[in-house]
Chains A and B, each alone.
Chain A
């Protein structure tokens, strides 16, 4: 699924990055960083309610393609600065974690545990 499509489906605002043609192979929705780190896959989209810079560091470790902050959350400036520096595309959506994951899954983005 193209990052552009993820933005459309989630009616999301882009907070930084412009890799809209990047391709995500799998999604992961969680508020525990160790859950993402447990069984990481290539080209993931990470959806989370956490907004601290560690979310971006964790994403860097796993080459996460794009990060979506749910429930309309706006991350602190340090988080966006790090994402900018690392070239990670970041969105904010008004949907909850459950809704956002459900929408992407229904549109065909598989779970990281399925690919």
Chain B
């Protein structure tokens, strides 16, 4: 059994662009304090940041969670909806439903989910329209 060394939950609000990235910044600082290897911190930062931005721009709000064990870093998210209709389409590079105002900020390239999958060792996405989206991403230490 792996031993849980750290756990923290970060609420993320819909359309909260002012605080966008703060949860991921906290996650990054925590991993630094725990002495995690720089390359793993960078990979975790990428996946948590893409995930956090998605919660802000696509979801009705939700939360992120960081868990660190002696074996892996787990970043997960859950939101209140609206869920993803076609997951395989959402996972495709270049597919996005982002609004023009979000695109003007530099997001909405349809690269986030494929980026998240590429940067972690295990990627699980569960979503249903009407329910919400849950993502679990694991990076081995």
- Contacts from A to B (Cβ < 8 Å): 31-35, 37-38, 40, 42, 48, 50, 52, 54-55, 57-58, 60-63
* Known contacts A37-B49, A61-B25, then 15 further A-B pairs from the complex at CB < 8 Å, ordered by chain A residue: A31-B106, A33-B105, A33-B106, A34-B111, A34-B112, A42-B38, A52-B105, A54-B20, A54-B105, A54-B107, A58-B21, A60-B25, A61-B21, A61-B28, A62-B42
Chain A contact residues: helix, strand, loop or mixed: helix
Q: Report the nearest B residue to A48, measured CB to CB.
A: B106
Which A residues are CB-close (under 8 A) to B25?
A: 57, 60-61
Are A34 and B42 in touch, CB under 8 angstroms?
Answer: no
Determine if B45 is an interface residue (Cβ-Cβ < 8 Å). Answer: yes
**How far does the Cβ of B137 sit from chain A's closest Cβ, in whole Å?**
14
Are B45 and A62 in touch, CB under 8 angstroms?
Answer: yes
Given A34-B115, A61-B45: A54 in contact with B21 (beta carbons within 8 A): yes
Are A35 and B109 in touch, CB under 8 angstroms?
Answer: yes
A48 to B46, CA, bound (A): 19
- Contacts from B to A (Cβ < 8 Å): 17, 20-21, 24-25, 28, 38, 42, 45-46, 49-50, 105-107, 109-112, 115, 118
Chain B contact residues: helix, strand, loop or mixed: helix
**How far does the Cβ of B24 sit from chain A's closest Cβ, in whole Å?**
6
Which A residues are CB-close (under 8 A) to B49?
A: 37, 57-58, 61
Given A52-B106, A63-B42: A57 in contact with B20 (beta carbons within 8 A): yes
Are A35 and B111 in touch, CB under 8 angstroms?
Answer: yes
Q: Report the nearest B residue to A61, measured CB to CB.
A: B45
Are B105 and A37 in touch, CB under 8 angstroms?
Answer: no
Given A37-B50, A62-B45, A62-B46: A32 in contact with B109 (beta carbons within 8 A): yes
**How far does the Cβ of A51 sit from chain B's closest Cβ, in whole Å?**
10
The 10 closest A-B pairs by CB, nearest first: A34-B111, A57-B21, A33-B106, A61-B45, A34-B109, A32-B109, A50-B106, A61-B49, A37-B46, A52-B105
